[in-house]
Protein backbone atom coordinates (compact mmCIF):
# COMPACT_ATOMS: atom_id res chain seq x y z
CA UNK A 1 0.00 0.00 0.00
CA UNK A 2 2.81 2.40 0.86
CA UNK A 3 4.44 1.61 -2.49
CA UNK A 4 1.28 2.82 -4.27
CA UNK A 5 1.21 6.06 -2.28
CA UNK A 6 4.83 6.75 -3.14
CA UNK A 7 4.27 5.94 -6.80
CA UNK A 8 1.18 8.13 -7.14
CA UNK A 9 2.88 11.03 -5.36
CA UNK A 10 5.92 10.76 -7.64
CA UNK A 11 3.56 10.53 -10.62
CA UNK A 12 1.82 13.72 -9.43
CA UNK A 13 5.06 15.61 -8.78
CA UNK A 14 6.79 14.69 -12.04
CA UNK A 15 4.02 14.52 -14.63
CA UNK A 16 5.48 11.25 -15.92
CA UNK A 17 3.50 8.94 -18.14
CA UNK A 18 2.30 5.68 -16.59
CA UNK A 19 4.68 3.60 -18.66
CA UNK A 20 7.61 5.84 -17.73
CA UNK A 21 6.83 5.27 -14.06
CA UNK A 22 6.49 1.48 -14.17
CA UNK A 23 9.63 1.08 -16.28
CA UNK A 24 11.80 3.41 -14.18
CA UNK A 25 15.00 1.73 -13.01
CA UNK A 26 17.43 2.76 -10.30
CA UNK A 27 20.15 3.57 -12.83
CA UNK A 28 17.92 6.43 -14.03
CA UNK A 29 17.95 8.08 -10.59
CA UNK A 30 20.90 10.41 -10.04
CA UNK A 31 21.79 12.61 -7.10
CA UNK A 32 19.81 15.56 -8.40
CA UNK A 33 18.36 14.40 -11.72
CA UNK A 34 15.94 11.75 -12.86
CA UNK A 35 16.46 10.42 -16.38
CA UNK A 36 13.04 9.71 -17.86
CA UNK A 37 12.87 7.48 -20.91
CA UNK A 38 9.77 8.55 -22.79
CA UNK A 39 7.90 7.72 -25.95
CA UNK A 40 10.08 6.38 -28.73
CA UNK A 41 13.00 6.05 -26.33
CA UNK A 42 13.39 9.83 -26.09
CA UNK A 43 15.29 10.86 -22.98
CA UNK A 44 14.52 13.84 -20.80
CA UNK A 45 16.11 15.03 -17.59
CA UNK A 46 13.98 15.95 -14.63
CA UNK A 47 15.43 17.85 -11.65
CA UNK A 48 14.81 15.98 -8.40
CA UNK A 49 13.30 17.92 -5.54
CA UNK A 50 14.00 16.92 -1.94
CA UNK A 51 10.48 15.48 -1.71
CA UNK A 52 10.85 13.29 -4.78
CA UNK A 53 14.27 12.13 -3.60
CA UNK A 54 12.79 11.17 -0.21
CA UNK A 55 9.87 9.37 -1.87
CA UNK A 56 12.22 7.33 -4.01
CA UNK A 57 13.99 6.06 -0.91
CA UNK A 58 17.16 4.01 -0.86
CA UNK A 59 18.38 2.91 -4.26
CA UNK A 60 18.20 -0.69 -5.23
CA UNK A 61 20.31 -2.54 -7.77
CA UNK A 62 21.10 -0.29 -10.76
CA UNK A 63 19.18 -2.51 -13.20
CA UNK A 64 16.33 -3.07 -10.75
CA UNK A 65 12.96 -1.38 -11.06
CA UNK A 66 12.12 1.43 -8.64
CA UNK A 67 8.61 -0.02 -8.29
CA UNK A 68 9.17 -3.76 -8.78
CA UNK A 69 5.65 -4.90 -7.91
CA UNK A 70 4.19 -4.23 -11.35
CA UNK A 71 5.28 -3.97 -14.97
CA UNK A 72 1.98 -3.09 -16.64
CA UNK A 73 0.94 0.56 -16.89
CA UNK A 74 -2.71 -0.54 -16.77
CA UNK A 75 -2.16 -1.73 -13.21
CA UNK A 76 -1.64 1.91 -12.25
CA UNK A 77 -4.89 2.86 -13.95
CA UNK A 78 -6.87 0.15 -12.18
CA UNK A 79 -5.42 0.93 -8.74
CA UNK A 80 -5.80 4.67 -9.21
CA UNK A 81 -9.40 4.46 -10.44
CA UNK A 82 -10.36 2.23 -7.52
CA UNK A 83 -8.82 4.70 -5.06
CA UNK A 84 -10.50 7.64 -6.83
CA UNK A 85 -13.93 5.97 -6.77
CA UNK A 86 -13.48 5.02 -3.11
CA UNK A 87 -12.62 8.66 -2.37
CA UNK A 88 -15.71 9.92 -4.24
CA UNK A 89 -14.01 11.07 -7.45
CA UNK A 90 -15.19 8.61 -10.10
CA UNK A 91 -14.17 10.81 -13.05
CA UNK A 92 -10.51 11.16 -12.08
CA UNK A 93 -7.93 9.12 -13.97
CA UNK A 94 -4.17 8.93 -13.50
CA UNK A 95 -3.67 10.70 -16.81
CA UNK A 96 -5.33 13.77 -15.33
CA UNK A 97 -2.34 14.03 -12.98
CA UNK A 98 -0.22 14.83 -16.05
CA UNK A 99 -2.61 17.63 -16.93
CA UNK A 100 -2.50 18.83 -13.30
CA UNK A 101 1.28 18.88 -13.39
CA UNK A 102 1.36 21.00 -16.56
CA UNK A 103 -1.29 23.33 -15.16
CA UNK A 104 0.59 23.82 -11.88
CA UNK A 105 3.72 24.72 -13.84
CA UNK A 106 1.83 27.25 -15.95
CA UNK A 107 0.12 28.77 -12.92
CA UNK A 108 3.54 29.14 -11.29
CA UNK A 109 4.52 31.30 -14.26
CA UNK A 110 6.64 28.80 -16.18
CA UNK A 111 6.35 29.22 -19.93
CA UNK A 112 5.98 26.58 -22.60
CA UNK A 113 9.74 26.57 -23.16
CA UNK A 114 10.16 25.20 -19.62
CA UNK A 115 7.06 22.99 -19.50
CA UNK A 116 7.77 21.22 -22.81
CA UNK A 117 11.05 19.50 -21.80
CA UNK A 118 9.71 18.58 -18.36
CA UNK A 119 6.65 16.93 -19.88
CA UNK A 120 8.42 15.39 -22.86
CA UNK A 121 6.39 17.39 -25.37
CA UNK A 122 7.84 18.27 -28.74
CA UNK A 123 5.25 20.86 -29.80
CA UNK A 124 3.78 23.96 -28.23
CA UNK A 125 0.33 22.74 -29.24
CA UNK A 126 0.73 19.67 -27.05
CA UNK A 127 2.03 21.77 -24.15
CA UNK A 128 -1.01 24.02 -24.49
CA UNK A 129 -3.35 21.01 -24.66
CA UNK A 130 -2.14 19.84 -21.25
CA UNK A 131 -2.48 23.23 -19.57
CA UNK A 132 -5.79 24.23 -17.99
CA UNK A 133 -5.37 27.52 -16.17
CA UNK A 134 -8.29 28.32 -13.90
CA UNK A 135 -10.48 31.40 -14.13
CA UNK A 136 -9.36 32.30 -10.60
CA UNK A 137 -5.75 32.29 -11.67
CA UNK A 138 -6.51 34.44 -14.73
CA UNK A 139 -8.46 36.90 -12.60
CA UNK A 140 -5.58 37.15 -10.11
CA UNK A 141 -3.09 37.69 -12.92
CA UNK A 142 -5.20 40.49 -14.39
CA UNK A 143 -5.52 42.11 -10.98
CA UNK A 144 -1.74 42.00 -10.56
CA UNK A 145 -1.72 39.64 -7.60
Provide the annotated active-site residues: 17, 39, 95, 98, 121, 130
Q: How far apart are CA 52 and CA 21, in angstroms?
A: 13
Q: Write a three-state SS string for the chain.
A: CHHHHHHHHHHHHHCCCHHHHHCCEHHHECCCEEEEECHHHCEEEEECCHHHHHHHCCCCCCCCECCCCCCCHHHHHHHHHHHHHHCCCCCCCCHHHHHHHHHHHHHCCCCHHHHHHHHCCCCHHHHHHCCCCCHHHHHHHHCCC
Q: How far apart are CA 22 and CA 107, in angstroms?
A: 28
Amino acid sequence: REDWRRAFRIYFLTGMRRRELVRMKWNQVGEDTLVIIGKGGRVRYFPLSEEIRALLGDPGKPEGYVFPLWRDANTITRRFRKAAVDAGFPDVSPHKLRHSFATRLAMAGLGEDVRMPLMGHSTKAMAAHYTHVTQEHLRSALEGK
